[in-house]
Amino acid sequence: MDDIRVKFALNKNIKTKRLIKACGFESYFCLINLWVYVAQNAPKGKLKGYHKSDLEIISEWTGDEGIFADALIQIGWVEEYDSGIMMHDWEEHQGFVYNSDERKIQARNAGLKSGEVRAEQKSTDSSTGSSTDSSTVRGTEGQLNANPLPFPSLPIPFQPNQKKKKDSDKSESPLDEKYSEFVLELFPEVKNKQLESQAQVIEQIHRIDKFDISQLLEILQWALKDNFWKNNFLSCAPLRKRKDGAGDVMKWEKIKAAYEKDNGELSNEPTKPKPMNFICDDCKRKYQFNPTICQNTACNSSNISRIPKEDIPK
């Protein structure tokens, strides 16, 4: 056996909590060690010839002698019987382990039966003279064809259909770090695996929709403070989605329209990008805001410094 079954709710089980209360957190891992040992050495869950004191040895318990073994028995994880120790309800909770010997026997019998069928078929083919060499085929003019026939029982490998992304939706070069910084400016607590997908959306708005990224940042920062949009703009991921299909405008365009209604129309001239105020001392990556920890996954340094004002381009 290579594994055992452990339920997700094991740590919430009342018996687990009682064991931890009685013996400490080490007992939780010792309980797993005990199950692994039993699965490997006694699949039926019975340790014949074992004594209570042996439980702490095979579980690798390092605490005071007798405490862990007594708790296992009193709480009901294990039971003592005439010939040794047995796991409580082992077949019910570890049925896969419990029936491992039977599965081995079934597999062995199935293999023997399959071998007998193949031998019988081979004997039948030899007696009828019907076997042929599939490695060559005689051509129409009596010449041997050098190309062998494909093996008749070889399955055609499954090749799933792979959806091709539209050329307009993918960038030809690695995503610029400025798009990740853009997302972090709005949502500093965003998780790393969500950061890339949200940064991709911002990059598409900039590259495909041809909208100035600095103006977009200004609009979205306003949205986070707006009474309506602060509850409806919680991520950059859906900004290019259309609620009512192709005929509808994208979400970021709706936010832009609401912004212009309150603040007037935006100028067509790109706004000047905000200066970088912080730098990672290790990888030299710059940030508009203090990220606390460098967002470069190859760095992840906490050595972030403010750039002196005289060194910031005006």
Three-state SS for 134-147 is: CCCEECCCCCEECC
What would the mean pLDDT of 89-107 be, rounded to a whole number?
A: 82
Query: Any idea what the Cα angle at residue 276 is, between residues 272 and 278, rounded to 5°?
Result: 165
**pLDDT tens, position by position, 51-86:** 988 999 999 999 999 999 999 999 999 999 888 999
Inter-CA distances, 215 with 107, 129, 182, Å:
68, 83, 12
What would the mean pLDDT of 149-166 be, rounded to a whole number?
A: 53
What is the pLDDT, as a whole number, of residue 142?
47
**pLDDT tens, position by position, 189-235:** 888 778 889 999 999 999 999 999 889 998 999 999 999 999 999 99
What would the mean pLDDT of 113-117 be, rounded to a whole number?
A: 71
What is the DSSP-derived secondary structure letter of residue 8? G
> Phi/psi at 79 (nearest 5 deg)?
-135, 145
Rounded-to-integer distance, Cα 33 and Cα 39, Å: 10
Inter-CA distances, 44 with 37, 87, 238, 268, 312, Å:
12, 9, 54, 77, 72
Positive or negative, the Cα torsion across 241, 206, 313, 300?
positive
What is the pLDDT, as a whole number, of residue 58?
93
Of 281 and 294, more confident:
281
Question: HEC string of 36-66?
Answer: HHHHHHCCCCEEECCCHHHHHHHCCCCCCCC
**pLDDT tens, position by position, 37-54:** 999 899 899 999 999 889
DSSP string, 161-217: --PPPPGGGS-SSPPPHHHHHHHHHH-TT--HHHHHHHHHHHHHHHHTS---HHHHH
What is the pLDDT, as a whole number, of residue 134?
47
What is the pLDDT, as a whole number, of residue 250?
92
Please state the pTM of the whole predicted model: 0.38
For residue 237, pLDDT over 60 is answered with yes
- Rg (C-alpha) for the chain, rounded Å, is 34
Partnered with residue 86 across adjacent β-strands are 46, 79
What is the pLDDT, as a whole number, of residue 180?
86
**pLDDT tens, position by position, 166-178:** 544 555 456 678 8
What is the pLDDT, as a whole number, of residue 163?
53
What is the pLDDT, as a whole number, of residue 140?
47
Per DSSP bridges, beta strands 286-287 and 278-280 are: antiparallel
Of 108 and 148, more confident:
108
Q: How far from chain centre, in Å, is Cα 309?
A: 43
What is the pLDDT, as a whole number, of residue 228?
93
CA-based nearest residue to 78, from 52, 97, 100 = 52
For residue 26, pLDDT over 60 is answered with yes
Give 97's pLDDT tier (boundaries 50, 70, 90).
Answer: confident
Rounded-to-integer distance, Cα 153 and Cα 159, Å: 18
Mean of pLDDT over the chain: 79
Q: Highest mean pLDDT: which of 198-212, 232-246, 297-311?
A: 198-212
For the chain, what percent of residues have pLDDT higher than 70?
Answer: 74
For residue 308, pLDDT over 80 is answered with no
CA-based nearest residue to 223, from 212, 208, 239 = 239
What is the pLDDT, as a whole number, of residue 283?
82
| Residues constituting the chain | 314
